[in-house]
Chain A
């Protein structure tokens, strides 16, 4: 058979145009249809994660860290009563849920009564307790279990329940709290196999070698050797810097015990630098702050419970004293009730739910306020730059028009001069009139 060359034909303009238009139509049909997603509110991205996305894309990761540190500092600031108010809000809701009324005045709400009667003694006691809690919470995050217990030998006397939870009870609470409250919402089960993870976490906490997944890396961190020494020194300095504790006449600046968390963040960064490269160290440390904030939200309730129990008992309110045992259920009890007795679970979760959400609201408020201020500045600067660029472009165009006009005028002038010069020669051209 004779070899046949493939036919090659050029297309006319209209033939090519049709092919392009049909191809374009096909393209429109193959494009995925844009769906207007109507996601129910409880399945939408959490406010925290969304604010994080906005902040990271407009201002940067460093600003996120600043805000998270500001939140931690605010909660543990001995001058601030935000934590105390969150606690009392939780107690008030817990009393409401159980149908109890603390105030002799039936028109006064539980929360109102507590703020009037319990806030002052609670705030006074918390000035020292906050420093103790910082060390305890760090111990709860990293282990081992003997570092998790409540400090009953503080530099100054603090009210604490005569029977604080045992080391084992605290450990169980810490493990249960790991899957208690998340500042993210997820379609998938972000906690994975909860029971398996709880067992693994307990083993790690008992040993004091917890594995964190930070920026997709599994990093095993132990507390530094000088942890007790450093934190005890911080606790002492923080408590002694409180008004009324230092030597009369001495100028002492209050030390916020939240610096203990800075110390541990730096340690995590150094440990990761030791394990990985310099670049990873910066990535790890930054993401650890987000883990730290979530841990604080979950573990604060464990740290604070025995102190609050005693302070409330000291109020000598019959309603509160009678119900004190059921006002603040522990995370491990709630976790068990969730499966075994959902009704009781709903009744008893009120304190933890209210307090944790109140602290979450404080976190959101701090981030939102700062973000609104920065975004306003960003918009103003961007619009000003755009307006300046537009003005520059306009001036450039105007100067170009002026230049063109000048050129045109020059051409007209030259043509005029040329015509004048030609006139002089007309006597030659017109010498012989035709």
Chain B
């Protein structure tokens, strides 16, 4: 700096960084909430398959210019192996280690039947309509 300083009011690099970061956060996509029918249709999904996922990723490697298949001298393609290992471990962790903590929303409609013997009634009920809940994956 010279013998005339920049006014501290104009030293706003931090504020500029925060402003543009806010812009990027504001513009991010918010995933739409799924409706009940869409959620229930999830039963038809096939589930995670590390092999299929690996093939899918390797199939798109050409978009980045990364070569696929064994190298010219016959050695295995290390990047493909890395992708395969990473996917296997991640899928394995999701399928075997992941836990989803669920809370069911209030307001679930239940019909129940039970006998009255002049005292407290134990009854068995069932929800007549699908109901929503919220789950957090751990």
- Seen from chain A, the residues whose Cβ lies within 8 Å of a Cβ on chain B are 41-42, 44-47, 50-51, 54, 179-186, 190-191, 334-335, 338, 345, 349, 352-353, 356-357, 360-361, 364, 368, 372, 375-376, 379-380, 383, 386-387
Contacts and interface: CB of A to CB of B under 8 A. Distances in A.
A360 B6 contact: yes
Contacts of A182: 1-2, 6
A258 B71 CA distance: 60
B6 A50 contact: no
B1 A185 contact: yes
A51 B6 CA distance: 16
B2 A180 contact: yes
Q: Main SS of chain A's interface residues?
A: helix
Given A180-B3, A191-B2, A383-B29, A361 B16 contact: no
A398 B28 CA distance: 25
Contact of A47 (B3, B5, B11, B28): B11
Given A41-B8, A47-B10, A360-B6, A186 B1 contact: yes
B14 A379 contact: no
A365 to B, nearest CB: 10
Contacts of B24: 379
Interface string B1-30: 111111110111110110110011001110
Counting chain A CB atoms within 10 Å of each CB, which of B4, B8, B14, B19 scores highest? B4
Nearest to A183: B6
A385 B88 CA distance: 29
28 contacts: A41-B11, A42-B8, A44-B13, A46-B13, A47-B13, A180-B4, A181-B2, A181-B6, A182-B2, A184-B1, A335-B3, A338-B3, A345-B3, A353-B5, A353-B7, A356-B4, A357-B7, A357-B10, A360-B7, A361-B7, A364-B12, A368-B16, A372-B19, A375-B20, A375-B23, A376-B23, A379-B24, A387-B29
A352 to B, nearest CB: 6
A46 B6 CA distance: 9
Contacts of A54: 16, 20
B11 A42 contact: yes
Counting chain A CB atoms within 10 Å of each CB, which of B3, B6, B10, B11 scores highest? B3
Contacts of A44: 11, 13-14
Contact of A50 (B1, B16, B28): B16
A186 B7 CA distance: 15
Of the four ranges (under 10, 10 to 19, 20 to 34, 35 or more), the interface on chain B belongs to 20 to 34
A126 to B, nearest CB: 23
A334 B3 contact: yes
B20 A46 contact: no
10 closest Cβ pairs, A-B complex: A357-B7, A50-B13, A181-B4, A379-B27, A180-B2, A338-B3, A47-B12, A181-B2, A179-B2, A182-B2
Counting chain B CB atoms within 10 Å of each CB, which of A50, A191, A334, A387 scores highest? A50
A357 to B, nearest CB: 4
A364 B10 contact: yes
A432 B92 CA distance: 54
A193 B85 CA distance: 58
Contacts of B28: 383
Contacts of A338: 3
Counting chain A CB atoms within 10 Å of each CB, which of B1, B16, B28 scores highest? B1
A41 B7 CA distance: 11
Contact of B6 (A335, A357, A387): A357
A180 B2 CA distance: 5
A41 B20 contact: no
A361 B13 contact: no
A184 B19 CA distance: 21
A349 B4 contact: yes
Nearest to A358: B7
Contacts of A375: 20, 23
A335 B24 CA distance: 44
Contacts of A50: 13, 16-17
A170 B130 CA distance: 86
Nearest to A355: B4
